[in-house]
């Protein structure tokens, strides 16, 4: 028998509604302010009669709608009061019935409401199975305890923040939590924030998305895809909705759950999430991260590639009724070597494309379809490129730009501390390197190798991502999420390539000139002023101790300016947001081969600065060998008969020391 609540402030009208509904013993009658409703058995249908000022009825709906997510509500009100009822009960998922209703009308509405079974339909069951199957393939090797908590029905209203790179399955994990957690059976709305709506458009966008979804009063899940792509103003609007509820007229749901996917650029500190990137405001990060899950990229789980490949082959073959094939060991090895910028989604696409295009069994490495046009030719070998360039006859250098040998690393006590008042640097001279001749071909070849190595590294990484997205474009051009990711990732990589060309162009176009007096303090001030916008946006703390009494070096001004610009760019690119950068310059009486020098110190924090990795020396060497800006900066410093020392062995910090020949002081007695 259907359990029905009939609520009306007038006892006679309650009884009339009960007779018209024909509920018999299944009905429970009472006034809106009756305290017994809090302990009454959960109904299937709530018939709420509206009368008077509606204050008591509004309070009843306010107290009980959220705790009865499975109940169907019927509002009975006079026709002339319908507009006012719609305005006041704007967020209540209810059917409207004119008062007085006929017995046939009221009973038909009650039967219709009670007949709406909460079980999933066939389409939703099929979708749940597909989500579960793909989730098992993509995440079987991971332990994600926060996902188990997100599935707890008691936490179905807690926001969930899913962090990861594109292609790691952020939306898949979000759908899994919706389908099998406390929000199961509710409505799913996915808002792709990469479109970056303005705050004025955000409300209309949400209304349109809600209108296109199948309404279910039990639960609404709103998934903000790439929430960190929203503008700061739009993020503030979303934060208010998360914390205070959806605005009036939107969200006829008993409960709303927020899930947001963001890039993997957050860190957890002091027990709470803190956004270390301007893309996600700290306020929205705090509001969304009731629960937080990080999905590691595929390059951090190379051991999962073989199993993911095998499971994808099985799923593909089963769906098409074909015999299951295998990938040969050389093919699996080739898959393991691939960088996978698109993560699991890219791997799944490569496997599916290979199976569709190739009929061989087993499938070998030369038949892998990393791109739609066919098997990939062998990628150019980086070492072979280096050797080819190094074998060329070095171009003789002009006397003004002949490089000097790099000095040995300066003693650690010459580096001032990052925090607190910096201590003056010790006037110590590094060991003098052995003399070299300007036409030393071995040294020149080594510099060419370093330049080619860094250039190949800077160009190859973005080209891999661009090539991957380009190969997927023909088959996924109609996917709006893919187009958004394509625009975001490829645009960023093109900007990176343009930056590489800009650095090379600046280096190649340096004008010729002779050494002259260069004010190092003024150059550093100018370079910092150029970066002021980025420094303020990322909330970086810059500490300066520049010698303005004797600030001059004897060098070619454009070369020094460009070298310091490259070093500052490297420091800013290496630092997390809200970190510290220490800059110092001072005259050293015997700082460069026993002669006076202008010493410049860059000291900055690295991400994850709480402890040093085990292979910091190797990391430092790799950074110095592959970062084009550092390689060019060192070439420029050495062309001025100076030295550059790069030290990354301190826990969480990097120190760069530059020594340039000092200009003769204006007051000889001061030296």
> DSSP string covering 213-279, please?
S---TT-EEEEEETGGGS-HHHHHHHHHHHHH-PPTTS---S-EEEEEEE-S-EEEETTEEEE-STT
Burial 16-33 (b: 16+ CB within 10 A, else e): bbbebbebeeebbbbbbe
Residue 347, H or E segment: helix 343-357
Beta bridge partners of 163: 262, 294
Distance from C-alpha of 174 to C-alpha of 475, rounded to nearest angstrom: 24
Distance from C-alpha of 233 to C-alpha of 283, rounded to nearest angstrom: 11
Give 278-327 pLDDT, tens digit per residue. 578 888 888 988 899 999 999 899 999 999 999 999 999 888 888 899 99
Q: What is the CATH number of domain 122-296?
A: 3.40.50.300
Distance from C-alpha of 471 to C-alpha of 459, rounded to nearest angstrom: 18
Q: What is the CATH number of domain 400-418+440-670?
A: 3.30.565.10
Residue 325, CA distances (Å) to 200, 319, 363 in order: 53, 14, 8
Helix (H, G, I), strand (E, B), or coil: what is residue 539? coil
Q: Mean of the pLDDT values across residues 377-390?
A: 38
Distance from C-alpha of 667 to C-alpha of 670, rounded to nearest angstrom: 6
Residue 643, H or E segment: strand 643-647
Nearest to 47 by CA among 96, 108, 2, 6: 6
Q: Mean of the pLDDT values across residues 618-641?
A: 71
Q: Mean of the pLDDT values across residues 151-172?
A: 88
Residue 198, CA distances (Å) to 201, 230, 236 in order: 5, 8, 11
Alpha helices in 553-607 (DSSP H): 557-574
Nearest to 346 by CA among 372, 375, 370, 315: 370
Q: Mean of the pLDDT values across residues 133-155?
A: 87
Contact yes or no for 623/630 (Cβ under 8 A): yes
pLDDT at residue 407 tops 70: no
pLDDT at residue 653 tops 70: yes
- DSSP-derived pairing of the beta strands 94-99 and 72-78: parallel
Does residue 594 come out as left (phi exceeding 0), alpha (psi in the -120 to 50 range) or beta? left
Percent of the chain whose predicted confidence (pLDDT) is above 90? 17
Q: By mean pLDDT, which of 23-27, 528-532, 619-623 is the weakest? A: 619-623
Nearest to 471 by CA among 357, 570, 390: 357
Q: Mean of the pLDDT values across residues 69-83?
A: 84
Instruction: Note the pLDDT of residue 625.
Output: 55
Distance from C-alpha of 238 to C-alpha of 244, rounded to nearest angstrom: 10
Q: Mean of the pLDDT values across residues 508-530?
A: 89
Question: By CB neighbour count within 10 A (0-12 exposed, 13-18 middle, 19+ buried), where does 421 fall?
Answer: exposed
- DSSP-derived pairing of the beta strands 552-555 and 516-519: antiparallel
Distance from C-alpha of 664 to C-alpha of 671, rounded to nearest angstrom: 9
Q: Quick one: DSSP state of residue 53?
A: T
CA max distance for the chain: 111
Contact yes or no for 12/29 (Cβ under 8 A): no
Instruction: Note the pLDDT of residue 31.
Output: 92
Q: Mean of the pLDDT values across residues 599-612?
A: 68
Percent of the chain whose predicted confidence (pLDDT) is above 70? 73
Which of 126-135, 175-184, 474-483, 491-500 is the most confident on average?
126-135
Does residue 54 come out as left (phi exceeding 0), alpha (psi in the -120 to 50 range) or beta? left
Structure tokens at 263: 């890039």
**Spatial CB neighbours of 259, under 8 Å, sequence gap ≥ 6:** 159, 160, 161, 162, 174, 177, 178, 221, 222, 223, 224
Q: Name the pLDDT band for 475 (thresholds 50, 70, 90).
A: confident
Q: Name the pLDDT band for 627 (thresholds 50, 70, 90).
A: confident
Residue with the bigger pLDDT between 154 and 5: it is 5
May I ask the CATH class of domain 4-114?
alpha beta
The two domains 4-114 and 122-296 share their CATH topology (first three levels equal): yes
Which of 38-47, 95-104, 168-177 is the most confident on average?
168-177
Beta bridge partners of 267: 274
Question: By CB neighbour count within 10 A (0-12 exposed, 13-18 middle, 19+ buried), where does 360 fall?
Answer: exposed
pLDDT at residue 40 tops 80: yes
Q: Where are the domains of the chain?
A: 4-114, 122-296, 300-367, 400-418+440-670
Nearest to 656 by CA among 498, 665, 627: 627
Q: Name the pLDDT band for 351 (thresholds 50, 70, 90).
A: very high
pLDDT at residue 342 tops 80: yes
Contact yes or no for 631/620 (Cβ under 8 A): no
Instruction: Note the pLDDT of residue 153.
Output: 79
pLDDT at residue 561 tops 80: yes
Q: Give the number of other Cβ atoms within 10 Å of residue 427's Cβ.
A: 15
Q: By mean pLDDT, which of 102-106, 115-119, 633-637 is the weakest? A: 115-119
pTM value? 0.47
CA atoms within 13 A on the CB side of 323: 6
Beta bridge partners of 656: 602, 646
Compute the Cα dihedral for 265, 461, 561, 403 and give only its sign: positive
Instruction: Note the pLDDT of residue 431.
Output: 38
Contact yes or no for 4/110 (Cβ under 8 A): yes
Q: Mean of the pLDDT values across residues 450-478?
A: 72
Average pLDDT over all residues of the chain: 76
Q: What is the CATH number of domain 300-367?
A: 1.10.8.60
Residue 547, CA distances (Å) to 425, 585, 587, 599 in order: 12, 6, 7, 10
Helix (H, G, I), strand (E, B), or coil: what is residue 639? helix
Residue 96, CA distances (Å) to 46, 51, 73, 91 in order: 12, 14, 9, 13
Q: Name the pLDDT band for 462 (thresholds 50, 70, 90).
A: confident
pLDDT at residue 264 tops 90: no
Contact yes or no for 8/14 (Cβ under 8 A): yes
**Spatial CB neighbours of 359, under 8 Å, sequence gap ≥ 6:** none
């Amino acid at each position: 028998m259907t359990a029905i609540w009939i609520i009306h402030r007038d006892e006679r009208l309650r009884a009339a509604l009960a007779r018209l509904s024909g509920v018999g013993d299944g009905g429970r009658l009472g006034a809106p302010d009756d305290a017994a409703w809090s302990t009454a058995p959960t109904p299937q249908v709530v018939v709420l009669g509206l009368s008077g000022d509606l204050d008591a009825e509004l309070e009843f709906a306010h107290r009980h709608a959220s705790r009865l997510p499975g109940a169907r509500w019927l509002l009975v009100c006079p026709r002339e009061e319908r507009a006012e009822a719609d305005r006041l009960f704007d967020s209540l998922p209810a059917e409207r019935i004119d008062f007085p209703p006929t017995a046939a009308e009221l009973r038909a509405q009650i039967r219709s409401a009670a007949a709406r079974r909460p079980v999933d339909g066939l389409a939703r069951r099929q979708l749940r199975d597909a989500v579960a199957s793909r989730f098992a393939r993509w995440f079987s090797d991971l332990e994600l305890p926060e996902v188990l908590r997100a599935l707890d029905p008691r936490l179905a209203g807690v926001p969930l923040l899913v962090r990861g790179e594109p292609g790691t399955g952020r939306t898949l994990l979000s759908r899994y939590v919706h389908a099998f957690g406390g929000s199961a059976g509710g409505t799913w709305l996915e808002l792709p924030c990469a479109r970056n709506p303005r705050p004025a458009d955000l409300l209309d966008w949400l209304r349109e998305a809600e209108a296109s979804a199948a309404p279910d009063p039990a639960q609404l899940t709103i998934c903000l895809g790439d929430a960190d792509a929203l503008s700061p103003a739009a993020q503030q609007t979303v934060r208010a909705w998360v914390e205070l509820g959806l605005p009036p007229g939107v969200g006829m749901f008993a409960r709303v759950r927020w899930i947001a996917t963001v890039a993997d650029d957050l860190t957890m500190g002091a027990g709470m999430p803190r956004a270390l990137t301007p893309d996600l405001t700290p306020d929205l990060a705090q509001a969304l991260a009731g629960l937080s899950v990080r999905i590691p990229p595929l390059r951090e789980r190379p051991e999962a590639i073989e199993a993911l490949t095998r499971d994808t082959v099985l799923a593909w073959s089963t769906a098409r009724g074909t015999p299951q094939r295998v990938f040969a060991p050389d093919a699996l090895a080739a898959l393991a070597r691939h960088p996978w910028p698109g993560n699991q989604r890219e791997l799944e696409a490569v496997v599916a494309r290979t199976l569709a295009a190739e009929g061989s069994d087993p499938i070998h490495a030369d038949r892998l379809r990393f791109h739609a046009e066919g098997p990939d030719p062998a990628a150019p070998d980086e070492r072979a490129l280096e050797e080819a360039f190094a074998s060329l006859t070095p171009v003789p250098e002009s006397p003004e730009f002949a490089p000097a040998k790099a000095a040995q690393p300066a003693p650690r006590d010459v580096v001032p501390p990052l925090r607190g008042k910096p201590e003056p640097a010790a006037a110590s001279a590094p060991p003098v390197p052995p003399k070299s001749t300007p036409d030393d071909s071995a040294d020149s070849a080594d510099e060419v190798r370093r330049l080619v190595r860094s250039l190949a590294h800077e160009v190859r990484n973005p080209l891999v991502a661009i090539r991957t997205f380009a190969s997927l474009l023909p088959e996924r051009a109609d996917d709006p999420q893919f187009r958004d990711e394509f625009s975001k990732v490829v645009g960023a990589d093109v900007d990176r390539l343009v930056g590489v060309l800009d650095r090379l162009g600046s280096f190649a176009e340096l004008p010729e000139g002779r050494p002259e007096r260069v004010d190092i303090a003024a150059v550093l001030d100018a370079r910092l002023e150029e970066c002021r916008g980025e420094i303020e946006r990322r909330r970086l703390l810059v500490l300066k101790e520049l010698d303005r009494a004797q600030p001059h070096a004897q060098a070619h001004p454009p070369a020094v300016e460009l070298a310091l610009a490259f070093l500052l760019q490297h420091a800013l690119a290496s630092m997390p947001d809200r970190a510290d950068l220490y800059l110092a310059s001072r005259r050293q009486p015997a700082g460069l081969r026993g002669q006076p020098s202008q010493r410049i110190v860059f000291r900055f924090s690295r991400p994850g600065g709480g402890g040093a990795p085990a292979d910091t020396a190797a990391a430092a060497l790799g950074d110095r060998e592959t970062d084009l800006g550092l390689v060019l900066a060192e070439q420029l410093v050495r062309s001025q008969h100076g030295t550059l020392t790069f030290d990354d062995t301190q826990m969480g910090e990097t120190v760069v020391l530059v020594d340039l020949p000092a200009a003769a002081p204006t007051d000889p007695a001061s030296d």
